[in-house]
Structure 1
Amino acid sequence: MAPPRRALLLGLAWVAAASLASPAHATEAPRVEVHTVARQRVGVGLTLDGVLEAVQQSTLSAQASGRIAQLSVKAGDRVRAGQVLAVIDDRETGAGVQRAQAAVVQAEAEARNAQAHLQRTRELRAQGFVSQAALDTAQAQADAAQAAVAQARAAQAQAALAQGFTRVTAPYDGFVLATHAEVGDLAAPGRPLLTVYAPQPLRATVQVPASRAAVAAAATRVEVRLPDGRWVQPTGQTRLPAADPVAQTIEWRLPLAPGDVGAAVPGHTVKVRFVGGQEERLVIPARAILRRGELSAVYVATASGAPSGFVLRAVRLGADLGPDGVEVLSGVQPGDRVALDPVRAGLAGAQPVAR
């Protein structure tokens, strides 16, 4: 006997023995609903692996140079919009703010002096003690002093803005995905410090081979299978207009409704199915399949009057067709009745019952 076939039979025997060893009710044999296998028209198309991504994900960088003096968060921490995440040494920018404040005070004092000189010159001109040229000069000096005040205040605002660049804050409520620097590292404009993301909304991203792009584009329905096994439909779809020159794939982005995501988080793998038509396939409900490692089997109801109500039979499965069920390539035939609860079907004395 070939080794693969011997291993398969041993696996079936082990599952059958474990099932028969399970306790059954002494007073009444378990009754298990069955499903009659038949060919049916189901939606078929292209199924690919995808990944969940956060729609809002940002890599925060420094806008000022200096040593990182404080890093107040780590990967996995929850943050609020406006929360300070990192602080860069601001002694230089602080000194710049003080210089700018002193310059404003000096410019305002000079402006007051120039304004007082202008007022005295006007009075003297009215009495005829000074010429018009002296009055014009005083007016020009007062205007220049006011312009100097405006310039000093602008420099003060610029210094305050530069000091603000030493604080890296969260742009929105979310979580820290990763940190790219440590306290003491040198920060520079454009160097990444942290990556943050918002937990909602999420989207499924899938790379469609360029050779199958036409199939995906012609799909009448797109479905996403989440990590918990549920199939949901995206709220929209975006296909990038260019293919990756190396991988020769086209990226599709499929936003998901917040209520459909459940406990899924960015990074989880999903299945994306592009349904483009219908074909006749032999399918069974997914809950009828018993999986033990690499073994897939179903409990098939025996003929009426047989001592055992079910017999375990190995099956070879095809594509997961979502709500329509799972395609069966071999192991069962149309008309066979399979148990919808394979665990109860393996109990001693279990009998089939029609739904």
Structure 2
Amino acid sequence: MRMRWTMSGAVAAWLLGAVAAHAAATLTVAETRISDEKAVFATVESISVVPARARIGGTVVALKVREGDSVTRGQEIAAIGDDKLTLQMNSLDAQIQALQAQATQAQIDYDRTSGLVERGTLPRTKLDEARTALNVAENNLRAKTAERSVVQQQFKEGQVLSPDDGRVLKKMITVGSVVLQGDPIVTVAQQHYKLRLRVPERHARVLKAGDKIRVDGSEFGDQMAKFGTIDLVYPQIEDGRVVADATVEGLPQYFVGDRLRVLISGGERPAFVIPAKFITTEFGIDYVHLGEPGKTMAVPVQRGREHPTQEMPDGLEILSGLRPGDRLVQP
């Protein structure tokens, strides 16, 4: 009984798989609205190009990046040295040592005076004078130590840090250059890129934020097209063109300023779009198969241009030969 039940389950599973395969191999033709795509050029731009600036003045003693290098936020890009800071640090160290000796002597004097006052040898006013001298010595030591911390912080600010993750576009200086506080050392393009489109002004009325765009896969050495969305349409026309920014997910690492061919929507129209796998070509004529699995009829069709979408990567427009409701079978 157990063996018979197992065989029945296997047969049922096979039948379900066959039904699913047949269902997946058929398609009911329906008219849909597609975008009338127009080809334009877009430029790869960084979302923001920011300079890494010097925080102190001095001489560049080390430069640790070059054009094209990838950097992360907070990474050291260059080092700036200033001989005056070293001299100030040495001077402050000597002064601190002197003040430490004064504070130690003031503590000794205070302890001695306190003992003599307790025995009645000296008046209490002497104890107040010793306490004041000790406080002054300790405050002078703290002030000079804080001043040394300021100079030490200036030493740390000699490190030029990357303001964000990205790539180095251009170096402004070389090792040995003298820079002032706030001078740019390198410019860093943030790692997230966008496409800047320049569209003829006749498309200004139909171009809007949220429209989909398509980048041909051949632009980046891939078979699959990439899709994006227009984020912003600038309200000013420059040289007869409308400027718009678009975001494309998975955009590879390009040179900033690289030009790509992008397809945008120039309006909508009705059309038939089917997967390319439903078309066969014999003797130069394209056919689709109508009917049911196992009983089909070949019908010639006229193919149009490719129209891939995110849902149908191999979408192909059919100009003639199909009607709404036709049932296609994959050959």
TM bin, normalised by shorter chain, reads: 0.5 to 0.7
Q: Does 1:334 align with 2:314?
A: no
Counterpart-to-counterpart distance in 2, 1:132 and 1:171: 61
2:35 is aligned with what amino acid?
Answer: G
On the 8 A contact 1:222/1:272 being kept in 2, the answer is: no
1:118 CA drift (Å): 2.0
1:154 CA drift (Å): 1.4
What residue ranges of structure 2 are gaps of 5+ in the alignment?
A: 1-29, 277-282, 288-303, 323-329
**Paired residue for 1:65?**
57
Q: Deviations over 1:240-297 (max 9, x none)?
A: 9x8569789676463x54xx224545433346666697422698999xxxxxxxxxxx
From 183, 188, 193, the equivalent of 1:202 is: 193
What pairs with 1:217-232 in structure 2 (closer than 5 Å)? 217=208, 219=210, 221-225=211-215, 227-228=219-220, 230-232=225-227
TM-score by length of structure 2 reads: 0.60
From 164, 177, 180, the equivalent of 2:172 is: 180
1:280 is aligned with what amino acid?
Answer: P
Q: Using CA pairs below 8 Å that are at least 6 residues apart, which structure has the higher relative contact order?
A: 1
| Equivalent position SS for 2:138 | helix
| Equivalent position SS for 1:183 | coil
Counterpart-to-counterpart distance in 2, 1:43 and 1:58: 37
**Paired residue for 2:67?**
75
1:106 is aligned with what amino acid?
Answer: A
Per the alignment, do residues 213 and 157 of structure 1 end up closer, same or farther by CA in structure 2, a change over 3 Å counting? farther
On the 8 A contact 1:208/1:252 being kept in 2, the answer is: no
1:69 CA drift (Å): 3.1
From 115, 123, 126, the equivalent of 2:118 is: 126
1:179 CA drift (Å): 0.8
1:159 CA drift (Å): 0.8
Q: Indicate the percent of aligned positions where both proteins have the same amino acid.
A: 21
Per the alignment, do residues 281 and 67 of structure 1 end up closer, same or farther by CA in structure 2, a change over 3 Å counting? same
- Number of aligned residues: 268
Q: Deviations over 1:294-331 (max 9, x none)?
A: xxxxx96399xxxxxxxxxxx9x8xx965389999xxx
Per the alignment, do residues 40 and 182 of structure 1 end up closer, same or farther by CA in structure 2, a change over 3 Å counting? same
Per the alignment, do residues 126 and 74 of structure 1 end up closer, same or farther by CA in structure 2, a change over 3 Å counting? same
2:259 is aligned with what amino acid?
Answer: T
TM-score by length of structure 1 reads: 0.56
From 83, 86, 98, the equivalent of 1:91 is: 83
On the 8 A contact 2:45/2:257 being kept in 1, the answer is: yes
1:80 CA drift (Å): 6.0
On the 8 A contact 1:222/1:273 being kept in 2, the answer is: no
1:171 CA drift (Å): 4.9
From 285, 289, 295, the equivalent of 1:301 is: 285
1:230 is aligned with what amino acid?
Answer: A
On the 8 A contact 1:46/1:216 being kept in 2, the answer is: no
Counterpart-to-counterpart distance in 1, 2:72 and 2:105: 49
From 106, 111, 127, the equivalent of 1:135 is: 127
What residue ranges of structure 1 are gaps of 5+ in the alignment?
A: 1-37, 287-298, 304-314, 337-353
CA RMSD, Structure 1 to Structure 2 (Å):
4.7
**Paired residue for 2:160?**
168
1:225 CA drift (Å): 2.0
1:98 is aligned with what amino acid?
Answer: N
2:187 is aligned with what amino acid?
Answer: T
On the 8 A contact 2:51/2:188 being kept in 1, the answer is: yes
| Equivalent position SS for 1:233 | strand
